[in-house]
Amino acid sequence: MPPTSTPQHIGRVEMRGIVKRFPGVLANDHVDLEINAGEVHSLLGENGAGKSTLMRQLYGMYPPDEGQILIDGKPHVFRSPADAIKAGIGMIHQHFMLVPTLTVAENVALGLKSSREPQLDLDKVSKRVTELSKAYGLKVYPSAYVWQLSVGEQQRVEIIKALYRGASLIILDEPTAVLTPQEVCDLFLILKKMVSEGHALVFISHKLHEVMEISTRVTVLRDGKMIGTRPAAGVTRDEMVKMMVGREVKPLAPQPMQAGAPRLQIRGLHAMGDRGTEALQGVDLEVRAGEIVGLAGVSGNGQRELAQCMSGLRTATAGTILIEGKDIAHFSLRERVEAGLAYVPEERMRDGAIRDFSVQENVFLHDHTSPQFTNGIFLNFKKMAEHAGALTKQFAVKTASLDTPIKNLSGGNIQKVILARELSRKPHVLIAAQPTRGVDIGATEYIHQRLMEQRAAGTAILLISEDLDEIRTLSDRIAVIYEGKIMGIVRRGEATVEQIGLLMAGISADSAVGKEPCPPDDPVAA
């Protein structure tokens, strides 16, 4: 079925010599990119490589400083997304651009002329949404409110929004970041269907295996520069990593665990979420000394609330949290720290660091009352500087000086400062929430090594991550959380990605047996 008629079908888009500067950063440095109808063109690169920036220029969100955009040979200038939409370009952003309080149909109709202007004609919109939904296997209900939808469903609404506007080139910015492995399979089927209908797709990702699976061609960006474009069929994983990072990266090989006595025991933990519903519904979990337990799950299933309950940012309504046998569930934040808890928060700029404070001040957020650094009234700045200097050196933090405001550091270096602060206290229990989110591969590697060292030193580590690869690499055991309950716990190497994925989707291990998670053939076409 052809897309909605208005914009012309795009055969080829060329971006030539694109340069984009932001204050202090050269985000795109003479990048050339060519996208053809009927291909999935992947943009691969680390965080900050300039992938999203490049595509936002193609979608008219900001103009390039230099360079040209040609559609089927004709130069185009996009002043706003409206211009790009008119030219047949659609974009599915990493953070979905949906209005949660509106229905699916209202979200689709937003900004479009109605056939009964000024009145909305939601019936007509719904009908067309249903048609598109059938044609591409995108299951959605036009009258459902967006806030009621799962992340996967919201993504389908985003795709329908683009198709409804007749987009023939669709940019997908990190579309798999928030999906379960099964949802990724479903998405890939839809994308394949779209490509076979003659759409051109740009797939932005830093996940190699996905890029290899879905792409026709791959373009790698690094530090704003284009490193090269290759047909996906001819490249190996190692070559791609080398193009992305600029050097070889050795995979982490964890030593076998020598776990000791339980250091963290969570029993029957209940807590309310921000929306007033119960976010934790009786979580039971145990982490032993020298063990990393990875908490996997789709975002929003209680991971945040669990981490906050442990760190003291949220109050548990029932249950116990034992550290070394002591119940800390109702301790103050300081008492928790003294009980041996360290916390690397998910929102590192909100909960982990104070933006405008210097690196040194951020190192001392906890320890400024320690007798080592104060006589009770005045702080001993000399000693503090020595300590902070030693820590930043030890943790390889790249900063101009200790007095630099922490907000000027890269994500990876901010995370290293937080890690340095938390680990320097030699904690019994470490809660690491999304420790490498938005961090480049080099820093990720470093943070992972530090976590493994900490594990070897006997710390009980609870690793909360939405990156299943990270969980699978680091964890001795993997606990899967779903709707505020632990769905199941598996040992390293005992479960496949598919089994973990089913647990993440709330399907328990027993009922999951024998299910084929990712069917080889396209059921939509049948």
Partner 1 sequence: MNEVGTVAIIVGILTSAVRLATPYLYAAIGEAFAQTSGVVNLGVDGIMLVGGFAAFLVALTTGSLWLAVLAAAFVGVLMGLLMSLISVTLKAEQGISGIGLYMFGLGLSSLLFKVLVGTVKTVPGFPTVKIPLLGDIPYLGPILFQHSVLVYGAFLLVPVAWWFLEKTTWGLKIRAVGQNPAAADSLGVDVNRTRYFSVCLGAALAGIAGASLSVALLNLFQENMTAGMGFIAVALVYFGGWRPLGILGGALLFSAVDAMQLWMQVLGVKIPSDVAVMLPYLLTIAALAFATNRTRQPAALNVPFERGSN
Q: Site residues (CB under 8 A) for partner 1?
A: 56, 59, 61-62, 80-83, 85, 91, 93, 95-102, 106-107, 109-114, 117-120, 161
3-state secondary structure (DSSP) of residue 237:
helix
Q: How far is the CB of 61 from partner 1 (least distance, A)?
A: 6
Smallest separation, CB 95 to partner 1 (Å) = 7
Q: How far apart are CB 88 and partner 1 at their closest, in Å?
A: 13
Least separation in angstroms between residue 202's CB and partner 1 is 16
- Rounded to a whole number of angstroms, the minimum distance from the CB of residue 402 to partner 1 is 30
Could you give the CA distance from residue 447 to residue 116 in angstroms, rounded to a whole number? 57
The H-or-E segment that residue 455 falls in is: helix 441-456
What is the rounded distance in angstroms from the CA atom of residue 445 to the CA atom of residue 247? 13
DSSP secondary structure letters along 92-139? E-SS----TTSBHHHHHHTTSPPTBTTB--HHHHHHHHHHHHHHHT--
* Nearest CA among 384, 387, 436, 432 for reference residue 413: 436
Closest CB to partner 1 among residues 86, 425: 86
- Closest distance of CB 89 from partner 1, Å: 11
CB-based contact 363:387 (threshold 8 Å):
yes
Work out how close the CB of 121 gets to partner 1 at its nearest, in angstroms, rounded to a whole number. Answer: 9
Residue closer to partner 1, measured from CB, 85 or 359: 85
Q: Say how far apart CA 26 and CA 448 lie, in whole Å.
A: 29
Alpha carbon distance 170, 88 (integer Å):
8
Q: How far is the CB of 82 from partner 1 (least distance, A)?
A: 3
Contact between 4 and 82 (Cβ < 8 Å): no
In the complex, minimum distance from the CB of residue 93 to partner 1, in angstroms, rounded to a whole number: 7
C-beta of 122 vs 243, nearer to partner 1: 122
Q: How far is the CB of 117 from partner 1 (least distance, A)?
A: 6
For residues 157 and 101, give the distance between their C-alpha atoms in angstroms, rounded to a whole number. 14
Nearer to partner 1, 124 or 428 (CB): 124
Helix axes 122-136, 181-196, angle to 10 degrees: 100
By beta-carbon proximity to partner 1, the closer residue of 59 and 364 is 59
Q: Given the complex with partner 1, which of 105 and 478 has the nearer CB atom?
A: 105
Buried-state track 395-432, b at ≥16 Cβ within 10 A, e below 16: bebebeebeeebeebbbbbbbbbbbbbbbbbebbbbbb
Neighbours of 248 (CB within 10 A): 8
Secondary structure (DSSP) of 49-80:
SSHHHHHHHHTTSS--SEEEEEETTEEE--SS
The smaller minimum CB distance to partner 1, of residues 159 and 264, is found at: 159
Query: Are the beta carbons of 210 and 177 closer than 8 angstroms?
Result: no
Least distance (Å) between residue 114 CB and partner 1: 5
Residue pointed to by tokens 């209680």 = 302
**Least distance CB 167 / partner 1 (angstroms):** 12
Nearer to partner 1, 175 or 294 (CB): 175
| C-alpha–C-alpha distance, residues 159 and 22, integer Å | 30
Cα atoms found within 13 Å of the Cα of residue 173, Cβ hemisphere only:
20
Task: Please identify, using beta-carbon distances, which residue of 53 and 399 lies nearer to partner 1.
Answer: 53
Smallest gap from Cβ 115 to partner 1, in A, equals 10
Which residues, including other chains, have CB under 8 Å from residue 370's CB and lie 6 or more apart? none
Nearer to partner 1, 237 or 350 (CB): 350
Query: Which one-letter DSSP state was computed for residue 252?
Result: P
By beta-carbon proximity to partner 1, the closer residue of 59 and 343 is 59
Q: How would you class 276 by CB atoms within 10 Å of its CB: exposed for 0-12, middle for 13-18, buried for 19 or more?
A: exposed
Task: Please tell me what DSSP assigns to residue 239.
Answer: H
When the beta carbons of 57 and 360 are compared against partner 1, the nearer one is 57
CA 357, 358, 363 angle in degrees (round to 5)?
95
Q: Which is nearer to partner 1, 57 or 475 (CB)?
A: 57
